[in-house]
Amino acid sequence: MIADDHALVRESLRALLGNEPGITIVGDAGDGQQAVSVTTLLRPDILLLDMNMPRLNGIQVLRALEPLRLHTRVIMVVAAIEKSEILQALELGARGVIFKHSPSDVLLKSIQMIRAGQFWIGNEAVADLISHVRLMRRAPGSHMSRDSFGLTTRELEIVGAVAAGYSNKRNRG
């Protein structure tokens, strides 16, 4: 499913992804409230969610979807995003962040990886994200636990793997 307030973006993604084997676009939404309603109704496997939309932004959509415990995996599609917003999106259940300036093959790869149960964060954001988490941990009065940063055990494993230099690519031997 595609949720973006720009019709041209929705139509372009529909055209791009509609030709891919194994991908069927089941619906779309032009604002955040529609994104919540259509996602709740259709329960897609993957939701490509624009961060900046009218009525509800991407974070607000994630907040509205979180208590529903849907099995929809969300990829935030962003022109730009703050490190704190990435953390917030991940905390609220997003599985990935991809930048709108990314090539189409990167989008397809992110969908494949997230479908396989992995997380995807644009490479240029990873180093900054880790630095931000470390700074937040050290901040006096931080609401983040010194041990967990407010993340689940699995999310901590993933951040640890990223910090250790692992990538989303699978090594084939």
pLDDT of amino acid 7? 96
Q: Can you give the residue ranges of every domain in the chain?
A: 2-123
Phi and psi angles of residue 19, each rounded to the nearest 5 degrees, phi first: -90, -5
Question: Which phi-psi region, left, alpha or beta, contains residue 9 (left: φ > 0; alpha: ψ -120 to 50)?
Answer: alpha
What mean pLDDT, rounded, does the chain reach?
83
Helix (H, G, I), strand (E, B) or coil at 39: helix
> Per-residue pLDDT for 61 more than 70?
yes
> Per-residue pLDDT for 146 more than 50?
no
Q: How many helices (H) and strands (E) does the chain have?
A: 7, 6
CA separation for the pair 27, 37 (Å, rounded)? 11
- The whole-model pTM stands at 0.74
Find out if CATH 3.40.1180.10 is the number for domain 2-123: no
More confident residue, 160 or 51: 51
Single out the residue of 15, 59, 65, 63 nearest to residue 44, CA to CA. 65
pLDDT of amino acid 11? 96
Average pLDDT over residues 88-100: 91
CA separation for the pair 80, 100 (Å, rounded)? 8
CA separation for the pair 130, 26 (Å, rounded)? 35
CA dihedral 24, 6, 126, 104 (to 10 degrees): 50
pLDDT of amino acid 108? 92
Per residue in 99-136, pLDDT (tens digit) is 999 999 999 999 998 998 888 887 544 555 556 666 66
